[in-house]
């Protein structure tokens, strides 16, 4: 589904990503781990086309999208949940969800199945985004990213600043998306995380970044045995 190879990225003279390769597969959850500031967000942004890469390639379903704009990548089937959620505080929940349809033809409705994943949103459609709790905003951000029925869902630290009960709900939704797909089609999931226990429970595959380089990768069994916990913050 997604294959990124040999990614190098710079902010000015700072070399932020060094020869990073990562892939994501339908029905599987790939978790990107690493401490603060190692380049996780930069990698996810570069996959979404929000920051340019200096070298390397990104392909989606066999098509080279290395130089595509974020809008083109959304149209090609990538959904993105940014760090900090970026909910439009003054827009209603329903309007926020409609924002997720920007890459679809006008008049496309918000898919009903989103409310089966996040029943709380159905009750809050007319509330302002800014009035929701952090956890509800995170659920809204995920639902907004799913509104356009992506084939790949990228999530940047979905547990950040969220209470434990909602973290569990979000974990269940992510697992369900991987296992059952979305509206009949499979979804690949790539998420970055600092909260080890959440990551370890979800990861089918993992990779660890340190100072812009991949220092470990493997499957869930390798994650449990390879003392990966010691390589990340929490």
Which residues sit at the interface with ligand ATP, rule CB under 6 A? 11, 14, 16, 34, 36-42, 83
Helix (H, G, I), strand (E, B) or coil at 150: coil
The CB-of-161 to ligand ATP minimum distance in angstroms stands at: 12
Return the number of the residue (13 or 105) whose C-beta is nearest ligand ATP: 13
The CB-of-14 to ligand ATP minimum distance in angstroms stands at: 6
Residue 97 near residue 143 (C-beta atoms within 8 A): yes
Specify the DSSP element, H or E, that contains 93: helix 93-99
Return the number of the residue (43 or 188) whose C-beta is nearest ligand ATP: 43
Residue 144 near residue 92 (C-beta atoms within 8 A): no
Rounded to the nearest 10°, the torsion over CA 129, 96, 88, 162 is: 50
The CA distance from 193 to 179, in Å, is 20
Return the number of the residue (47 or 147) whose C-beta is nearest ligand ATP: 47
The CB-of-50 to ligand ATP minimum distance in angstroms stands at: 10
**CB atoms < 10 A from the CB of 179, how many?**
12
The CB-of-233 to ligand ATP minimum distance in angstroms stands at: 8
Return the number of the residue (6 or 119) whose C-beta is nearest ligand ATP: 6
DSSP state of 34: -
């Amino acid at each position: 589904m997604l294959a990124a190879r040999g990614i190098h990225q710079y902010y000015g003279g700072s070399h932020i990503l060094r020869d990073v390769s990562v892939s994501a597969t339908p029905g599987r959850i790939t978790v990107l781990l690493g401490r603060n500031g190692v380049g996780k967000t930069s990698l996810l942004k570069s996959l979404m086309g929000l920051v340019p890469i200096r070298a390397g390639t990104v392909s989606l379903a066999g098509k080279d999208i290395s130089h595509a704009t974020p809008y083109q990548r959304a149209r090609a089937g990538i959904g993105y949940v940014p760090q900090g959620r970026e909910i439009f505080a003054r827009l209603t929940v329903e309007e926020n969800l409609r924002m997720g349809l920007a890459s679809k033809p006008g008049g496309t409705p918000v898919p009903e199945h989103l409310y089966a994943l996040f029943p709380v949103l159905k009750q809050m459609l007319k509330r302002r985004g800014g009035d929701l709790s952090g956890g509800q905003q995170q659920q809204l951000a995920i639902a907004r990213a799913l509104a356009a029925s992506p084939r790949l869902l990228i999530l940047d630290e979905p547990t950040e600043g969220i209470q434990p009960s909602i973290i569990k709900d979000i974990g269940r939704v992510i697992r369900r998306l991987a296992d059952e797909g979305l509206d009949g089609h499979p979804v690949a999931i790539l998420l970055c995380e600092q909260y080890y226990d959440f990551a370890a429970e979800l990861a089918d595959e993992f990779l660890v970044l340190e100072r812009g380089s991949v220092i470990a990768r493997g499957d869930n069994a390798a994650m449990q045995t390879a003392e990966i916990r010691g390589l990340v913050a929490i």
